[in-house]
Structure 1
Amino acid sequence: MKTVRHFACANPRPAQAVNHHGSAVLQALEQRHPALAAEFTALFSYPTDDGMVSLVALGSEMRIESAKDGDQVSLCLRHGDAVERRALFRLDRHQSYHAQVFRLAAVFLDEIRPMLLERHGLAPDTPLLGGWRCGTRPELVDEPLVFTLPRVLCRIDAATCRLRYVESEHCPAVDPDLFEQARELPPLPPLQVTRRQELPECVDYVDGLVDLLRAIAPDSEEKVVLARAVKLKLKTPVAPNALLRIVAPPRAGANYEFVFRWDGGDAWVGISPETLVRKEAGEVVVEPLAGTRKGSASSSKSERYRQELLNDGKEREEHETAAGMFYDNLASVCLPGSLTVRASRNVIDLGYVQHLKSVIGGQLKPGMNIFDVLAAVYPPATIWGKPLDLGGERIRQFELIDRGFFSGGLGYLTLGDDANFALAIRTARVAGHEVQVYAGSGIVQGADPYREWLETSNKMAPFLLNQFVALPEAPEPAWP
């Protein structure tokens, strides 16, 4: 590893929300170092007991890359143009795709960690940022997961700003004054939408749900999570960081906020309210979110929807099933007797929707790393369904989009095996003039197809219904 520079200072803007300061720092870095931004750009803001933390990253010093070709998966550690370690595995089509990929990644991480710590002299708290795609159709996934050790990393909380960068010919000196010089972001321009396309159209989505409900036995406890998307064509391109500031709440709250982009490609922007898994010092926590009602700016309506959510049998059953599956799966990797339910069916109000949330935690068994945990808990019922095998079959039969990173995971892991991953919901893909927004809904026997359509629309509201987005008039939907 080349020379690693470190700098720390008091946060020069303690009155500014940490997530907004992180966005301003990212914008400043992108403007000063466009070549690094083309390699890798990330902003990952997450809530803690002490407030928000923002990680801002640029450039790719090292990368854990994956490639899938048929039944073969290769993992490699790339350092610049050189490959330092490579492993090739073959998948078993009769076993869970995600569990196999994560177990392979667990072995690979254990192999490369000593090399990164000892040969390259990296600290245990060094983070790799990235995530994995949701493989609803594994045959279409050519890069299952990717994690990057950035050339430039900033960590910002309410009290302190820290800068770490790898000094080399690819990464010139980074000015530590950027924390002071990163001002409030300029006023956001409105997004002029020239075309809106529903993927699939409403009639086709409802017809598909009708067919799915016919396939589910009347007395079945089966659940299937089906997703759809809305594609917006913009008059002018939108920067991913600007889109995040458009859709994120004015003040930092319980949401994750993120922007991830590799090699100047499509960017993934999200404001997820759901912790998939968090790991620190051997403690593992999951926070399943399932069960939904719309939100409202009116306190009386919001309370009414809250009571409906708490008293609706379908929503409670959906949540208890998801939380129960998380508990059972987490128990397989935690020490016996350590697993506890710390909160159950709490209501979180995001303004545009309300959800039921539980918190489950335990101590990880010795010898296991974060990928072993992911192999046990992903995909959760909250984005897939139950039973898992049948849910996957139903998704492949009735879902008409490619999810990409939507409903996968995005966040970071450290070389010391701490980790924090958001489930990538409330997420959009940004590609130049196009923004594609995703949402899903859990379908059980007795579901109302039109109500499920409205639920997915409510979940997309931050991207589609805000003061900055001027949508073209859409025709009234035709119902069968």
Structure 2
Amino acid sequence: MKNLKHASFANPYPALTAHELGAALLPILERRFPLLASEFIGLFSHHTEGVNSSLVGLGSEFRLIALNDGERLNLELQHENSVCLSRTLALDPSTLFHEQLFGAVAQFINQLSPWLQEHHGLPPSTAFLGGWRCATHPERLNEPVIFTLPRVMCRISDQQLDFSCFHEDIWYAIDESLITFATDFTPTANPRVTGREDIPSCTDYVDNLIGLLNELAPTTADKVVIGREVKLTLERPIAPALLLRLIAPRPNPHYEYVFRWADEVAWVGISPETLLRKNGRSLVVEPLAGTRKGSHEHDKSARYRQELMSDLKELEEHETAAGLFFEQLSTVCESGSLSLRESRSVIDLGYVQHLKSLISGTVKTGLNVFDALAAVYPPATIWGKPLAACGERIRRYEQIERGFFTGGLGYFTLGDDANFALAIRTAKLTSTHIHVYAGSGIVKASDPYREWLETNNKMKPYLANEYVWNLP
């Protein structure tokens, strides 16, 4: 591996935000470096504390993966065709899978971060892009975690673009001409969708929820999140960056991302929810739970907002999620450091509105971001409460494979900073289909058909955006 090289360029298009520049730069880099793009492409844009930032990466210099064979978790740091570091953990069937997964990754990170800094001279700011799949069926999940340190990376702010690269034969092609065409682009040919399939059908979905509600009726605080899928058939393949351009709002005050590894399946999303971000020892989570239609319903949006803020079912769902976060963070944060900075505020995404809380704290000395994830994931916003019972109920009543949907996508650095979006408002893109996912929190007061309508509303960026998908 060669020494890491750097170059910075001023943003030539000050009217464009980092989100817009990232989305425009990704296809340019794909065309310039097709071999790197076949290994990995990653785009992760976020709006944090009022600042826009975007990371764009191609190629795979190092890769961190967790492999699950049902009895053990095998963690590896890979460089090209060799394994640099590895660690194995025997799985305990009596302990929640996600807790064991992130606990193992936390220990592995403590090993690989100093190794990469000492042996390869990488700075603490070095970022791995990637995430983890949601293990609703852990026995089927062969690769629950994957992160990539790209061969080429561009960090974008609203003011400038900072490139880094590992190899001389790639570095020569990185110059200011790369960004001269990085303008906001409008699709010249909208995708054509030739078919739609709801998985499960509306009738089956409602019937499943009726069965689930019969189980929840005797309880007082249980919640289960049940997801569903809409499968759209494409007339011809489309690029992940194009799909992102079609669905992402402008300006976007939240997250947008594209991730694709060598299996040619891309995950594209515009999540409004911070699962967890860490800067130094400061930790923040921003749970969203409780939903109504948004400001796109012009004359009714104020009414929906008032309903959201007063509906007992929505309030119960939100308080359950926020309360569980607070309880879990207390195990990894310094005593007395937890603060509820926002409670039941409303964010309006246009197609839907959500209740939001913001909880912050100081991580205990000696713990890293994956120790924190072991405590808080899966959150009640995508799983439910109590955790163990929800996993069993999801396996019986949900009829989809989630993959990265409701997992986490983002980055962590060797210095243990991180930003992870909860992967909602997310779709899986293949050469022939767009698989759109949404879930809904089910409590004893839920109306099954209303939950179906809520998931429809959550899918609107993909199903009813400005470039309407017209079926013949």
**Alignment pair present for 1:222 and 2:203:** no
Displacement, 1:289?
0.3
Structure 1 runs of 4+ with >4 Å offset: 168-172
CA distance in 2, matches of 1:51, 1:147: 24
Ranges in structure 2 where 5+ consecutive residues have no aligned partner: none
Q: Aligned AA for 1:201? A: S
- Residues 295 and 348, structure 2, Cα contact 8 Å, conserved in 1: no
* SS of equivalent residue, structure 1 residue 177: helix
Residue by residue over 1:435-460, the C-alpha shift from the partner in whole angstroms, topping out at 9 and shown as x without a partner, is 00000001111311100000000000
* SS of equivalent residue, structure 1 residue 143: coil
Alignment match, 1:249: 249
CA distance in 2, matches of 1:121, 1:198: 50
Alignment match, 1:122: 122
- Residues 152 and 164, structure 1, Cα contact 8 Å, conserved in 2: yes
* SS of equivalent residue, structure 2 residue 461: helix
Alignment match, 1:397: 396
Alignment match, 1:190: 190
CA distance in 1, matches of 2:188, 2:250: 13
**When the two structures are superposed, what TM-score results if normalisation uses the length of structure 1?**
0.96
- Residues 52 and 252, structure 1, Cα contact 8 Å, conserved in 2: no
Residue by residue over 1:318-346, the C-alpha shift from the partner in whole angstroms, topping out at 9 and shown as x without a partner, is 10110000001011100001110001000
* SS of equivalent residue, structure 1 residue 252: coil
Residues 255-264 or 284-293, more deviating: 255-264
- Residues 278 and 284, structure 2, Cα contact 8 Å, conserved in 1: yes
Alignment match, 1:105: 105
- Residues 189 and 468, structure 1, Cα contact 8 Å, conserved in 2: no
Q: Aligned AA for 1:435? A: I
Alignment match, 1:381: 380
**Alignment pair present for 1:328 and 2:323:** no
CA distance in 2, matches of 1:170, 1:32: 10
Displacement, 1:72?
1.2
* SS of equivalent residue, structure 1 residue 400: coil
CA distance in 1, matches of 2:468, 2:43: 23
CA distance in 2, matches of 1:49, 1:89: 37
Alignment match, 1:344: 343
**When the two structures are superposed, what TM-score results if normalisation uses the length of structure 2?**
0.98
Alignment match, 2:199: 199
* SS of equivalent residue, structure 2 residue 358: strand
Alignment match, 2:39: 39
Alignment match, 1:94: 94
* SS of equivalent residue, structure 1 residue 347: strand
- Residues 329 and 376, structure 1, Cα contact 8 Å, conserved in 2: yes
- Residues 4 and 165, structure 1, Cα contact 8 Å, conserved in 2: yes
Residue by residue over 1:448-475, the C-alpha shift from the partner in whole angstroms, topping out at 9 and shown as x without a partner, is 11000000000000000123232326xx
- Residues 74 and 88, structure 2, Cα contact 8 Å, conserved in 1: yes
Alignment match, 1:448: 447
Ranges in structure 1 where 5+ consecutive residues have no aligned partner: 474-480
Mapping 1:173-188, distance limit 5 Å: 173-188=173-188
Mapping 1:447-466, distance limit 5 Å: 447-466=446-465
* SS of equivalent residue, structure 1 residue 181: coil
User: Over aligned residue pairs, what C-alpha RMSD do you find?
Assistant: 1.3
* SS of equivalent residue, structure 1 residue 113: helix
- Residues 13 and 183, structure 2, Cα contact 8 Å, conserved in 1: no
Alignment match, 1:141: 141
Identical aligned residues as a percent: 54
* SS of equivalent residue, structure 1 residue 381: coil
CA distance in 1, matches of 2:448, 2:28: 46
Alignment match, 2:290: 291
CA distance in 1, matches of 2:301, 2:288: 18
Residue by residue over 1:110-152, the C-alpha shift from the partner in whole angstroms, topping out at 9 and shown as x without a partner, is 0111110111000000000000000001001000101100001
* SS of equivalent residue, structure 1 residue 261: strand
